[in-house]
């Protein structure tokens, strides 16, 4: 490609912009500014050899260097507004236009060439600085839900009421617009300055943060989807960016989707400018990718494509915009490591957080639980864990078999004669139901109770420590841990479960089938715990008739442990906050076991609300009698309300029906009419709500309450308010807070609908402006985070 394909700006324009850029960089990093100023002052004269390191550079530093020979650092950091205009002032579009005029560009195109790190930093700053705020959710939705299907367009239309109009969606999609009667054209938002960084080659670091690949932008046309044998693809094989939202749903599914995380890159492409680069500065690859992107942008797009082309040795000058390492702070823990490819980063973080949260803990006296990572630390003589001196290690996993009676007998004989000088290592099944059976054989039963006897010998006769561990530290050790809870504690599995979940920071997850097994196994544990369990004799037979005659499964009326139901408890987020479901909130057993004093209910009423002798204002009818509770806050144009009921001994008898079974809560917050439909907004609760009201549902860890926040399942609306609480009170950003809550809500995957998740990004912006002022830089990119979350979830779907 020749120089004639480019249009080159004047010396004067390039000089003025470079002064402006260097001043901006000097404010953030004087050292970098000084280095750049020095390099300019020492630059070669124009008749020097032109740089060819990248193969196709047409505008290099030599072209502009003569204007810089006499400049100093003081000149570059001057506050003289007549010389340097701050890029923080005025319209972003005007700044972008002024910036573009200083760049070389491909003739008759909007493709520009970035020829220095300073120019690239300026452009990325325009996008990242707080002044370039994300548009409000009202402006970006429903577009970001994805509106390719007619059902989606109608459902998310502001005139569609899900409570009265759902029957419309049952008809043929082709006739839906006529039956609906309103305009169903898609309104594409044209707001803010969005900048996508595109890595034109799949190459290793260094690379720019928040990068996507060219493949992420491509959508095959239907004609090519239905012709998979076609191998020679060109630009014409792919849909234009501005038609992505018009494509018919390939699956022809009528399912409504408000969690299309995987579509965000493609949906943001029509709204974005692009930076195309690769870390080897292969100009041909960059220019080809830029031409492809411009073609897909369509002839009417006014967005620009920027091709990066400067010496590869200058990459390090990009500093904070290089994706060399990832630093993440979760409370007091800092994760800073080379985490591999970007799409694996959240997976890396999730696994490490799970190991961190479920590390070595003493569940019962001298009986510890943990994960496989802890075990590796212990056996490698890690100094941090060496003081435990475990004498019995039990690895619980899905492929483990019950130890043979012969092997257990050898262990008894050895420790009787030699003591416990050397550690013992055994394996144990992590689940009975995973074995594909509901019961176990008599020999397996004998092995089971002899393992329990072995554990008891180590703990109570030798006064040594036992370490039971699984891969993640909570799902695989539940069977053995609860069995030992029965052995050393009450005779009821229900009481053991309540006792264990009541302990702060302990997490368990048990399958329904395993609960049923342990319930039936209670009688054997009741029998063995009353035998001589401190001797070294192997138990070789079970007196079944005696056991059946003298022991019975422990039974009492409890409203939580029900056949066929999920019996895991709510997840503790921090010391005084739990996240759960409407089922959790309806159980007096769960609430009282956890000593819950405050309930925050989001549009889902716990079952015991029916005993309230008062009426919320929105429910008042002509026949209403008794007290009416008025909202303390109204939002979403008056359609949603926040209510508060304070319960004390003086009013309890007046609030509830006599004889009703109610939990020992002291306050109720009920948020009415915020559905998980992708239409309703939580944003007013986060950014407009008075602090005195917001503190009622965003639980401060310093408050003297023990709160449960829930919606129907506990994965979207209530999880989002917990994420917001973590952001507000612990100072973590939106991604850190999301991961914090995700790994604690251990038995389900939290997944806020897209609109609510977007609103958490807006809340993050507001909090960061409060903490750091208006000059902070955005850390995360909406579409990249959504793609990472989608890929993180895919590993569970598979």
The structural domains of the chain, with segments of one domain joined by +, span 137-321, 358-550, 571-752
Sign of the alpha-carbon torsion through 511, 512, 517, 521: positive
Q: What is the pLDDT of residues 535-592, one digit of tens each?
A: 999 999 999 888 888 887 776 678 898 877 888 999 999 999 999 999 999 999 999 9
Reading the block at residue 136, the tokens are: 């409000």
Distance CA 705, CA 366 (A): 31
Reading the block at residue 513, the tokens are: 């089938």
Residues 6 or more apart whose Cβ sits within 8 Å of residue 217: 198, 241, 265, 266, 269, 293, 296
> 539, 453 in Cβ contact below 8 A?
yes
**DSSP letters spanning 357-384:** HT-SEEEETTEEEEEHHHHHHHHTT-TT
Reading the block at residue 144, the tokens are: 């970001």
Distance CA 258, CA 759 (A): 14
With CA atoms as reference, report the closest residue to 713 among 581, 520, 521: 581
Q: Is omega for the bond preceding 142 within 30 degrees of 0, making it cis?
A: yes
Q: What is the pLDDT of residues 405-453, one digit of tens each?
A: 999 999 999 999 999 989 999 999 999 988 877 789 999 999 999 999 9
Do the domains at 358-550 and 571-752 have one common CATH topology?
yes
CATH code that applies to domain 358-550: 3.90.190.10
Distance CA 13, CA 31 (A): 25
**Which pLDDT belongs to residue 767?**
96
Q: Helix, strand, or coil here: 573?
A: strand
Per run of 10 residues, the mean pLDDT along the chain (length 798 residues) is: 48 40 40 36 32 34 28 28 34 90 92 97 93 93 92 92 88 86 88 93 79 91 64 74 70 75 95 94 94 92 95 92 66 51 75 91 96 91 74 96 97 95 96 84 96 97 97 93 95 91 83 87 92 90 88 76 86 96 96 97 95 92 91 97 88 75 92 97 97 98 97 98 98 96 89 98 95 86 95 83
User: How do strand 272-277 and strand 305-308 relate by DSSP bridges?
Assistant: parallel
* DSSP E strand boundaries for 697-744: 707-710
Distance CA 493, CA 471 (A): 24
User: How do strand 571-574 and strand 577-580 relate by DSSP bridges?
Assistant: antiparallel
> 51, 136 in Cβ contact below 8 A?
no
For residue 755, the surrounding DSSP H or E stretch is: helix 754-772
User: How do strand 424-429 and strand 390-397 relate by DSSP bridges?
Assistant: parallel
Architecture of domain 571-752: Alpha-Beta Complex (3.90)
Cβ neighbours of 796 (radius 10 Å): 7
> 590, 570 in Cβ contact below 8 A?
yes
> 474, 509 in Cβ contact below 8 A?
yes
**Which pLDDT belongs to residue 205?**
66
For residue 470, the surrounding DSSP H or E stretch is: strand 465-470
Q: Is omega for the bond preceding 206 within 30 degrees of 0, making it cis?
A: yes
> 536, 521 in Cβ contact below 8 A?
no
User: How do strand 465-470 and strand 633-635 relate by DSSP bridges?
Assistant: unpaired
- Give this prediction's pTM: 0.86
**Which pLDDT belongs to residue 565?**
83
């Amino acid at each position: 490609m020749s120089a004639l394909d480019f249009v080159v700006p004047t010396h004067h324009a390039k000089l003025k912009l470079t002064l402006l850029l260097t001043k901006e960089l000097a404010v953030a990093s004087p050292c970098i500014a000084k280095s750049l100023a020095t390099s300019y002052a020492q630059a070669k004269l124009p008749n020097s050899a032109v740089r060819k390191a990248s193969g196709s550079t047409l505008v290099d530093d030599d072209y502009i260097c003569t204007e810089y020979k006499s400049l100093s650092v003081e000149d570059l950091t001057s506050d003289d507004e007549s010389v340097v205009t701050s890029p923080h002032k005025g319209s972003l579009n005007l700044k972008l236009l002024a910036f573009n005029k200083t760049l070389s560009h491909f003739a008759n195109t909007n493709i520009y060439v970035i020829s220095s790190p300073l120019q690239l930093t300026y452009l990325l700053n325009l996008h990242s600085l707080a002044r370039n705020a994300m548009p409000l959710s009202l402006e970006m939705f429903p577009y970001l839900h994805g509106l390719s299907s007619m059902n989606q367009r109608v459902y998310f239309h502001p005139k569609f009421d899900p409570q009265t109009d759902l029957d419309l969606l049952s008809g043929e999609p082709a006739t839906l617009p006529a039956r609906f009667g309103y305009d169903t054209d898609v309104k594409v938002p044209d707001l803010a300055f969005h900048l996508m960084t595109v890595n034109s080659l799949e190459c290793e670091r260094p690379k720019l943060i928040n990068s996507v690949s060219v493949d992420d932008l491509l959508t095959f046309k239907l004609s090519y989807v239905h012709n998979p044998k076609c191998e020679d693809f060109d630009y014409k094989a792919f849909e234009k960016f501005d038609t992505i939202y018009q494509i018919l749903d390939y699956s022809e599914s009528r399912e409504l989707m408000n969690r299309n995380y995987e579509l965000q890159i493609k949906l943001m492409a029509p709204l974005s400018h692009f930076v195309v680069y690769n870390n080897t500065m292969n100009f041909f690859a960059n220019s080809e990718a830029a031409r492809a992107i411009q073609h897909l942008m369509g002839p009417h797009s006014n967005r620009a494509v920027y091709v990066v082309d400067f010496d590869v040795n200058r990459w390090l000058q990009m500093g904070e915009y290089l994706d060399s390492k990832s630093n993440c702070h979760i409370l007091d823990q800092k994760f800073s490591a080379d985490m591999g490819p970007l799409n694996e980063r959240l997976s890396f973080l999730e696994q490490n957080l799970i190991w961190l949260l479920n590390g070595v803990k003493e569940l019962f006296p001298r009986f510890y639980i943990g994960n496989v990572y802890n075990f590796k630390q212990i056996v490698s003589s890690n100094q941090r864990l060496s003081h435990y001196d475990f004498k019995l290690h039990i690895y619980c996993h899905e492929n483990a078999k019950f130890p043979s009676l012969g092997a257990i007998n050898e262990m008894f004989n050895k420790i009787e004669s030699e003591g416990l000088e050397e550690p013992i290592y055994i394996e144990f099944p992590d689940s009975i139901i995973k074995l594909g059976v509901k019961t176990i054989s008599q020999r397996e039963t004998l092995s089971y109770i002899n393992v329990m006897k072995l554990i008891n010998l180590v703990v109570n006769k030798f006064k040594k420590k036992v370490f039971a561990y699984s891969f993640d530290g909570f799902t695989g050790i539940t069977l053995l841990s609860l069995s030992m809870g029965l052995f050393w504690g009450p005779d009821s599995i229900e009481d053991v479960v309540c006792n264990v979940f009541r302990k702060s920071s302990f997490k368990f997850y048990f399958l329904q089938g395993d609960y049923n097994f342990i319930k039936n196994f209670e009688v054997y544990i009741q029998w063995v715990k009353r035998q001589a369990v401190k001797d070294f004799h192997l138990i070789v037979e079970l007196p079944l008739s005696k056991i059946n005659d003298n022991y019975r499964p422990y039974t009492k009326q409890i409203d939580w442990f029900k056949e066929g139901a999920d019996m895991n408890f709510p997840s503790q987020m921090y010391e005084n906050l739990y996240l759960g479901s409407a089922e959790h909130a309806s159980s007096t057993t769960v609430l009282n076991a956890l000593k819950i004093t405050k309930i925050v209910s989001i549009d889902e009423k716990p079952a015991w609300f029916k005993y309230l002798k008062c009426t919320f204002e929105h429910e008042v009818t002509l026949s209403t009698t008794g007290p009416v509770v008025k909202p303390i806050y109204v939002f979403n144009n008056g359609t949603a309300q926040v209510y508060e009921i304070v319960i004390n001994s003086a009013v309890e008898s007046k609030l509830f029906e006599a004889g009703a079974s109610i939990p020992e809560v002291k306050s109720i917050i009920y948020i009415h009419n915020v559905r998980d439909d992708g239409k309703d907004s939580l944003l007013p609760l986060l950014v407009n709500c008075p602090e005195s009201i917001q503190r009622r549902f965003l639980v401060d860890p310093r408050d003297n309450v023990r709160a449960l926040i829930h919606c129907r399942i506990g994965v979207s609306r209530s999880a989002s308010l917990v994420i917001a609480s973590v952001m507000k009170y612990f100072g973590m950003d939106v991604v850190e807070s999301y991961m914090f809550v995700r790994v604690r809500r251990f038995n389900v995957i939290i997944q806020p609908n897209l609109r609510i998740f977007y609103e958490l990004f807006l809340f993050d912006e507001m909090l960061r402006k409060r903490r750091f002022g208006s000059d902070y830089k955005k850390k995360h990119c909406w579409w990249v985070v959504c793609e990472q979350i989608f890929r993180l979830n895919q590993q569970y779907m598979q």
